[in-house]
Chain A
Amino acid sequence: MAQHILETDGLVCPFPVVEAKAAMAEMPAGDELVIHFDCTQGTEAIPRWAAENGYPVTDFTKRGAAEWSITVQKA
């Protein structure tokens, strides 16, 4: 199992989810994707995208003012 980092700071929604989807498609099952994002709406959109696709979220933290990190596993 490996972790992949996706840097999306500076991208506004829906691009963090669009990029996460593309990154997920190329990852083997079981790997984790760490998404760094600073689009406020992403705090709602990314967990919802993960839930709708049945991907477990193993970590979700606020890195700082308007900066978050979420780790989603490809199940």
Chain B
Amino acid sequence: MLISGLIIGAALGFVLQRGRFCVTGAFRDIWIAKNTWWLSAFFVAIAVQSVGVWVLDALGVITLSASDFPWLATILGGFIFGFGIVLAGGCATGTYYRAAEGLVGSWFALLFYALFASISKYGPLGSTTEALRGITVEGQGTLHETFNVSPWLLVALLVVGTTLWARHHITKPRLKFATLPPEKTGLAHVLFEKAWNPFVTAAVVGLIAIAAWPASWATGRESGLGITTPSANIATYLTTGDVELVDWGVFLVLGIFVGSLIAALGSGEFKLRVPDAQTIVRSIAGGALMGVGAAWAGGCTIGNALVGTSTFSWQGWVSLVVMILGTGVAAKLFIAPRKKTAAPAQVPAGV
């Protein structure tokens, strides 16, 4: 049932767009805004999914198997990916949903991301990727293997830690955010207008990530959410016609695009937005770096930082940390206000 990929993807795309769920923003905020508000929300998604996948594993619906830890490729790739998402203005899923909102810069990022993921997986860089990923720590694929503990202990720690962290953000001086005056009512207001609470959005993302496992498993693709390999598969399918590449993951990412397009159109947030030349060049460079980085690291902010962390793979956790470091370096280098010439024009009050 490949079509379930399209449905789950659409649900995810819808939620990401409406909830303004941006992993790049969560990582960037640590360095620029010096806060972990969104990062703690991202951890809510990891924790919710973690409980779900380990329950599915215990029930025998899926089987989480351990593998070796390709440490060098994870560190290099994760850093390159984290650096790239700042230039591209969004991670893989962020780029899909911004492309669907009509951001032309994200179209460039998306095309170069898919192209370079394909080059690095199936093309001329394929052997480099394979060689890098062949450098491993054997039999140490997961945290629970290394520390020789039950994964349930890690699930418990993750859930308790995340709850305390999120609670700290939710309850500390409760900030009153300005909201737009509502123009819609009832369900239309909730779905297509209301500002969603980040922590609720994150929990829903976690639930969708759980649902992805059995749905994907049923089609023979034995993993959860993933963006990079499906994107590489689309690029490769389009140039080779190899239908074998069109799997559940391909339908998932197409669904993300469709779901966010529905969300953007339904809420009056679709507009073709063409950025300046510098932003386009950065989007292209960022997309290319994301493609190479994710291929090397074996995943992006979703495959590694959201899914790999929930199964306690070293690849997931190490890439999460180095992605954040890569984001920090790129943020220091590239995020600054425009030149003084663009200073705001002053007008007298009341005019």
Contacts and interface: CB of A to CB of B under 8 A. Distances in A.
The contact size tier of chain A is 35 or more
Interface in B50-107: 89, 98, 101-103, 105
A51 B35 CA distance: 14
A32 B350 CA distance: 11
Contact of A23 (B178, B264, B343): B343
Interface of B is mostly: loop
Contacts of B178: 47, 50-51, 57, 60, 70
Nearest to A48: B177
Contacts, number: 118
For the residues of A in contact with B, the DSSP-based class is mixed
B279 A12 contact: yes
A58 B344 CA distance: 18
B315 to A, nearest CB: 28
Nearest to B274: A10
B32 interface: yes
B181 A23 contact: no
A10 B278 CA distance: 12
B28 interface: yes
Interface in B140-196: 175-181, 183, 195
B337 A18 contact: yes
Which of B32, B269, B335 has the most C-beta atoms of chain A within 10 angstroms of its own C-beta?
Answer: B269
Contact of A51 (B32, B101, B175, B338): B175
Interface of B: 17, 20, 22, 25, 28, 32-33, 35, 37, 89, 98, 101-103, 105, 175-181, 183, 195, 198, 264, 268-271, 273-276, 279, 335-338, 342-349, 351
12 contacts: A2-B348, A11-B275, A12-B275, A13-B22, A14-B25, A14-B28, A15-B337, A15-B338, A18-B337, A38-B271, A41-B22, A65-B271
List the 6 closest pairs (A to B, CB-CB), nearest first.
A57-B178, A66-B271, A51-B175, A22-B337, A4-B344, A47-B178
